[in-house]
Chain A
Amino acid sequence: MKSRRQHQTPETPLSINEETGDLLRALSGWTATALIQDLSQPLTAIRANAQAALNTLSTPGTDLSMAREALADILDDAGHLSSMLETLRSPLRQPRQQVPTVPEVEVRAAVRLLTPWLRNLGYNVRLLTDARASEVIVRPGATGAGTLLALLGLIDPGRARPKARQALTIRALRPEAGLLSVAMEISQEATVVPTLRTGAVDLDTSDNLHLSACISLVEVLGGRYCDLIDAQTTRHGVQFDLPLTAVRKDLA
């Protein structure tokens, strides 16, 4: 997904408003992509099942159990679609909440988590409170997946420029949103393009839209994803792998 930033020179710093605008535009695109993906699955199944049931019912003397199963699956998929719409509607019904202030410890912990990786890429990471720095805002109510999305907005390799981005500020607007719920681990493999691995994102089934948005974004950035399965073969998370542009001269 292209952002306005790509048309500017690497040295031109963007204001926080411009950065936020860019991120919001990108998020809208990703959300739309995720919605299309999530709605298309049950719709595809409903159409195919309906046609299969019609074909079966149109053939005299055939076993009707297949048609019954198809109709039962249509009901299930329709129910799935309804619950998705309910999920989409629910935030609109909730009253706007007061945003609590940020405890500094949360911000410091987040920076501590990011620092080794960013330094490895040649960035100078400091905790700043003024507008000189680029910002990532973790929105109120963000979940692990939502946080990941925000972080991915920050590390988009197409947007990363060594000179334009020498400092970062990470501000958690709501500490309990779980900024640190995304675990990050830097690959130590001697590759020109280092890989960022984020893992163990806690999944909530009602949060599938966020997850889809993350998956879409990871794919747009040329990354991969896979399910994290535990010993009981239960899916407990998704792992994302992303290629990143190396900015350190000795890495390039």
Chain B
Amino acid sequence: MSTTSPIVHIVDDNASVRRALRRLLASVGHETRTYSSAHEFLEADHPNAPACVVLDVRMPRMSGLELQERMAEQELKIPIVFITGHGDITMAVEAMKKGAVDFLPKPFDDQELLASIERALTEHEQERSELAEQGEIMARIERLTPREREVMEHVITGLLNKQIAGELGTSEKTIKVHRGRVMEKMEVVSLAELVRLAARIDVHGPGDLPPAE
């Protein structure tokens, strides 16, 4: 994962609001990037760093709510804090249902905005950390042979070597060897640890692992 500092993206068509928010966030140490439209945000490069978007709802061409949908379509998973001059309850509910962190009516309390941004950044950091961990586990699984994958899927259900041998139609001794290699390649020392790792990628038994390439 990159060690880049968190970035707050500000998307608002009003230049005065954009400038003021950038200044406010800079004064408390946040790195910011500003965009005058939803299109400009979508076209920009987004570095691999924890981030959040402070997004105005009402903008020409593409509204903030439409941008939220486009981001979901493009799997651009950056938490959003909506700001709006004329939001209603329906609009707020819709935005929150689609995963927005907060929905703040303008003019908002500065502390409220900063708290929402902190929450959004923490959420993104956690999500990225989980993704990185899952990626690392998947990388270890990539090292397993198809047979070792099968053995792992059975081991994590709590079956004994003898039972797994019966299930897979082989000898107990062979299963013992495979099991040792699984533990080694997955870099774990106990069954409990292996089960925990498997659960992190939603693998709980036979057939849950993706097929080996």
Interface residues of A (CB under 8 A from B): 33, 36-38, 40-49, 51-52, 55-56, 66, 69-70, 73, 76-77, 80, 215-216, 219, 224-227
Contact = CB atoms under 8 A, between A and B. Distances in A.
A37 B28 CA distance: 27
A226 B108 CA distance: 26
Interface stretch (B16-24, B142-150, B198-206): B16-24
Contacts of A56: 27
Interface of B: 14, 16-17, 19-21, 23-24, 26-28, 58, 60-61, 83, 85-86, 105-110
B86 A49 contact: no
Given A36-B86, A70-B23, A47 B107 contact: yes
Closest 6 CB pairs of A and B: A55-B27, A40-B85, A48-B20, A40-B106, A45-B20, A43-B107
Nearest to B14: A41
For the complex, would chain A's binding face be called helix, strand, loop or mixed by DSSP majority?
Answer: helix
21 contacts: A36-B86, A38-B85, A40-B106, A40-B107, A41-B16, A41-B106, A42-B16, A43-B106, A43-B107, A44-B85, A45-B16, A45-B19, A47-B108, A48-B23, A51-B24, A52-B27, A55-B27, A56-B27, A66-B27, A70-B20, A216-B86
A52 B86 contact: no
A48 B86 contact: no
A78 to B, nearest CB: 11
A215 B58 contact: yes
Contacts of A69: 23
A51 B28 CA distance: 10
A88 B19 CA distance: 27
A38 to B, nearest CB: 8
A17 to B, nearest CB: 30
A49 B24 contact: yes
Contact of B19 (A51, A73, A215, A227): A73
B191 to A, nearest CB: 53
Contacts of B110: 47-48, 51
B19 to A, nearest CB: 6
A219 B85 contact: no
Contacts of A66: 23, 26-27
Nearest to B105: A40
A37 to B, nearest CB: 4
B85 A37 contact: yes
Given A46-B107, A73-B20, A76-B16, 6 more contacts: A41-B85, A44-B20, A49-B24, A51-B24, A52-B24, A219-B58
Given A51-B110, A226-B60, A44 B23 contact: no
Contacts of A49: 20, 23-24
A52 B109 CA distance: 13
B61 A44 contact: no
B58 A52 contact: no
